[in-house]
Amino acid sequence: MKAYGAEFFGTFWLVLGGCGSAVLAAAFPQVGIGLTGVSLAFGLTVLTMAYAVGPISGGHFNPAVSVGLWAGGRFPANQLLPYIVAQVAGGIAAGGVLYLIASGKAGFELAGGFASNGYGEHSPGGYSLLAALICEIVMTAMFLIVILGATSKRAATGFAPLAIGLCLTLIHLISIPVTNTSVNPARSTGVALYVGGWATNQLWLFWVAPIAGALIGALVWRALADESGQ
């Protein structure tokens, strides 16, 4: 139960910190943090929580990462469902807290997107469904390769959270214009449920693509590493 709690709070912080930076601070008058700031915020949430609660649960904070670690031979199958439930619950709880904060400002509307992921007319840059699908698959695959490599037996100890956090920052710098960057179904679900409509209608892609990408990344890593994926 401690591991599930760690995954809940780790994902809660990821969604609150990452999506919160996008909703509350990205375009704040005169001192907005912009795309770069939002990218850093997502990376910093993972970095900080990986150090804080990673030793308790492994620091997944992402259903696609849990699936990828299972495919990479690093995580037992019987823990997948409870980890995913804890992660999604953490994301939804964070979305609720963020809504309570954001709605305290006059003129706030969920129609603004609430940091939801999307494609087509709901892509920040107007990218197509196919472009969004490819982007999310490739970005998540690369994320898993970095995670598996940084946490392997041959990697320098103590530095994995830095590599993983910086990788997530880079992923956001690349792909926010395409999909608003998911690579994490819990992050996408945590805000989409509050927006409803188009956000929940498009949510399927931000489950399918990250999980597919995680499986691909795990298979690539296992081909590069030894048979155990270490």
Q: Which residue has the tokens 């964070």?
A: 94
Mean pLDDT by 10 residues, the chain (230 residues): 96 97 83 89 97 95 98 95 98 98 91 92 96 98 97 88 97 97 98 96 98 97 76
pLDDT at 227: 54
CA 124, distance to chain mean position in Å, is 17
pLDDT at 31: 66
Domains and CATH numbers, the chain: 2-106+115-224 (1.20.1080.10)
pLDDT at 229: 56
